[in-house]
Amino acid sequence: MTKTALIAGASGGIGLELARIHASKGDNLVLVARRGARLAEVKSELESKFKVSIYNIVKDLSVKDAAKEVFDEVKKQNIIIDYLINNAGFGDFGLFAKSNWEKQVGMINLNITALTQLTWLFLPEIISRGEGKILNVSSLAAFQPGPTMSVYFASKAFVLSFSEALNNEVRDKGITVTALCPGSTESNFHAVVLGDPKLVRKRKMMTAKEVAEIGYRAMMKGKPVVIPGLKNSFLVFASRFAPRELVVKMVRKIQGEKNFYKI
């Protein structure tokens, strides 16, 4: 039986690669993103290559009630969602006291509120069918505070905690919730945060495709948490044994070198 995945933040990066993976498996898609023209290109590419059905919803999920509007549109189209993938998110760089408040609110609305509301809206129907999977894209940033990106790091900590708790609540109902926690990933995320891609320190990063493949496999296996890359896993493990004050200082030093964590 053909299944359908809803992917929020599907116009680029990890979300786009997850869309490609699901389409390659024969899954139909509901793609959600702000960039309508880009979504149209993705729809054309994947429908042509994989012969699947794709329904696009152009929506800025950082806007109040946008998640509910997405849910209502899906219901209107009589589409049943088997896989819910909450990938939409963005970050900001700088001291919190000097930050733009509207940008911070938008980040909270997108990274936390929209993710939580989409899950709350779709989960009851998934539970009623006794099967389904949710993938919430968190970050390596979820495991420690992040000076100069304080709200972003905190929002990803919420995603991780929420996902682990929810997985415990629904696992006995045949549902699994997975938190994907990648480190720095090749994408336009850094350029958007910094406003200039040249400011990003050149170093080896995992590709969005690599991260998406790891996330997809973890979701299908029902793993609660997955951290792509042995080095990233080691960093998380090591941070558990270091004093919190030291961890925060180390993150501040890394942030000062423009080496960011990516959703």
Work out the burial of residue 188: count CB atoms within 10 Å of its CB; fewer than 13 is exposed, 13-18 middle, 19 or more buried.
exposed
pLDDT 10s digits, 177-205: 999 999 988 865 444 444 444 444 445 78
The predicted pLDDT at position 250 comes to: 79
Structure-token pair, residue 190: 């850094």
CA distance 144 to 32: 29
E strand or H helix that includes residue 19: helix 13-24
Q: Against a cut of 0.85, is the pTM above it? A: yes
Of 55, 83, 152, 216, the catalytic one is 152
Tokens 């993103």 belong to which residue? 33
Domains located in the chain, CATH noted = 4-256 (3.40.50.720)
The predicted pLDDT at position 260 comes to: 43
Determine phi and psi for 58, rounding to 5 degrees: -85, 110
Contacts of residue 242, defined as CB under 8 A and 6 or more positions apart, other chains included, come to 250
CA distance 82 to 112: 21
For residue 152, indicate whether it is catalytic. yes
Q: Which residues of the chain have pLDDT under 70?
A: 187-203, 257-263
The predicted pLDDT at position 257 comes to: 58
The predicted pLDDT at position 64 comes to: 93
CA distance 183 to 54: 30
Q: List the 28-33 sheet strands across, edge first.
A: 54-58, 28-33, 4-8, 83-86, 132-137, 175-180, 225-226
Q: For the CA atoms of 72, 74, 75, 76, what is the dihedral angle to 10 degrees? A: 80
The predicted pLDDT at position 253 comes to: 79
